[in-house]
Structure 1
């Protein structure tokens, strides 16, 4: 993750929470009071976001020390300590909520991604994410997917062409949409086309695009589309895919499965920071 982008976003998150100051901690503690703390997993799951959390505290005070007992990608058990922290009380308490919010969300995404990947581990398919992330959290969310064993789809509208149903409707046809794209973008940019029916799959193949997204197709349609494509270009299945049906979709033979569910329906992993005065 780009450290300049991370710092900019974390500063924005902290400003939102702290505002003009943490009136509670500033009333209770002096500038020199120090505390220590331990991060605890309150449930089982995969850890993600430790360096992000440490950066939160160090933006408030570069002297805060956060020691990792486990690292991103570790599978935690309930009650396990995974990091320790020490430093000035005001800085740690001011950053606690932002750091925990990010750690919990990222670890939740990593945990759920891990479970989906496990379901299809014996099949030649790759689990990927989508752009269905919360504004401001995309790079954090997509990093967490990688920690969980998944892969990233495009990061935004800027790094790959994806011609969807609304593009096709506005352009008049798939052929016309692809023609306009090729006239505009360079040869280094991949072109993916969304197909909702077999006739569109046939048209996409004739246009020589790089990938075909098979959108909201039933299992029988998916199998038929994959068979027709015959490995000539990579295929991606998307639309309404969850942990409950991901195995069945993978068994149709698609190369990639994209799940917005990984990030738009995430359940945060329950983590806590237990603090006490430094002795």
Structure 2
């Protein structure tokens, strides 16, 4: 994969460390790493490398750095690639040196997260490549692993995508069940406007062009065009005429994304990027 995403500033350790700490505590259980403590002398030291075993885009290497560092302050972690950088099979992503016990105990936690986040970045990069030449931007959703949302959304950014809302509190998204309960698109938007602050963006999901016609005079900030075919998306974009952002969702893959983007939509939201993207295989290999 020849894609290199723009380099984004890593998340602050303050945000990441509690997640890594919880993951390590889950793995250490009630007695610690009984295998490593039995087999490895306390004073033994090692040098290991994190290496990509397949092509992709790196992300989340700081998760491994923090995992090892929490287990021993005497660990030196040296990055060889930046998050967002394309890597080939065999590429050394980072080198880590220090007490062998800390390195072996932290291996699985660090690799689990680095593999997961690199997989998300790789999948995102693939979709970004697929829509190249169109204005559509690839964005993720709230379909994230509980507890890992900040990390997974960061990985999407590392892959060249962008983030949809982070939670229920940072934007209004009126979906089909909201409309069903309110009785109509117009009534749903009316109720939201009575409660939302002046800084809150409002997006409304529509399934049909008739619903879009109802929405247009209400003046939302964005419209989510759900599960529409590319020809219907093109008609919807024409109807909107730039009065609000247009977002397509549903049945998005690397194969279908170009036609969706060609409809002229501004955004393409993809839930599977964070709920089921395959990992990027990364190994921790002995180097001395």
1:221–1:276 Cα change, 3 Å: closer
Say if 1:232 and 1:133 are closer, same or farther in 2 by CA, change over 3 A. Answer: same
Paired residues for 1:69-84 under 5 Å: 69-84=80-95
- The two structures have a TM-score, normalised by structure 1, of 0.96
Are 1:10 and 2:20 matched, yes or no? yes
Q: Is 1:223 matched up with 2:209? A: no
- Please name the residue that 1:213 is paired with: 224
Given that 1:47 and 1:72 are in contact with CA atoms closer than 8 Å, whether structure 2 keeps it comes out as yes
Matched, 1:258 2:269: yes
Equivalent residue, structure 1, for 2:42: 31
Structure 2: distance between partners of 1:196 and 1:59: 49
2: CA distance between counterparts of 1:104 and 1:242?
21
**Counterparts of 1:88 and 1:67, CA distance in 2:** 15
Q: How far 1:238 moved relative to its partner?
A: 0.4
Q: How does 1:141-220 map to 2 (within 5 A)?
A: 141-220=152-231
Partner-residue secondary structure (3-state), 2:93: strand
CA displacement at 1:2 relative to structure 2: 5.0
Identify which of 61, 77, 89 aligns with 2:72: 61
Give the match's secondary structure for 1:182. Answer: helix
CA contact (8 A) 1:109 1:268 kept: yes
**1:46 and 1:74 in contact (8 A); partners too:** yes
Deviation of the 1:193 alpha carbon: 0.3
Stretches (4+) displaced over 4 A: none
Q: Which of 149, 153, 176 is matched with 1:138 structurally?
A: 149
Matched, 1:240 2:251: yes
What's the CA shift for 1:261? 2.1
Asked if 2 retains the 8 angstrom alpha-carbon contact of 1:234 and 1:255, the reply is yes
Q: What number of residue pairs does the alignment pair up?
A: 277
Q: Which runs of 5+ in 2 are unaligned?
A: 1-10
- Return the alpha-carbon distance in structure 2 between the equivalents of residues 135 and 224 of structure 1: 37
Give the deviation of 1:275 after TM superposition. Answer: 2.5
Answer yes or no: is the 8 Å Cα contact 1:168–1:174 preserved in 2: yes
Tell me what 2:5 maps to.
Answer: none
Deviations 1:209-233 (A, max 9, x none): 1000000112221111111111111
- Residues 207, 226 of structure 2: 8 Å contact kept: yes
Alignment RMSD: 1.3
Match of residue 47 from structure 1: 58
Residue 127 of structure 1 is matched in structure 2 by: 138
Question: Secondary structure, in 3 states, of the residue corresponding to 2:77?
Answer: strand
Post-superposition offset of 1:7: 1.4
* Distance in 1 of aligned mates of 2:287 and 2:87: 23
Alpha-carbon distance between aligned partners in 2 of 1:63 and 1:38, rounded to the nearest angstrom: 16
Is residue 50–residue 94 contact of structure 2 (8 Å, CA) maintained in 1?
Answer: yes
> d(CA) in 2 for partners of 1:192 and 1:53?
37
Structure 1 residue ranges without an equivalent (≥5)? none
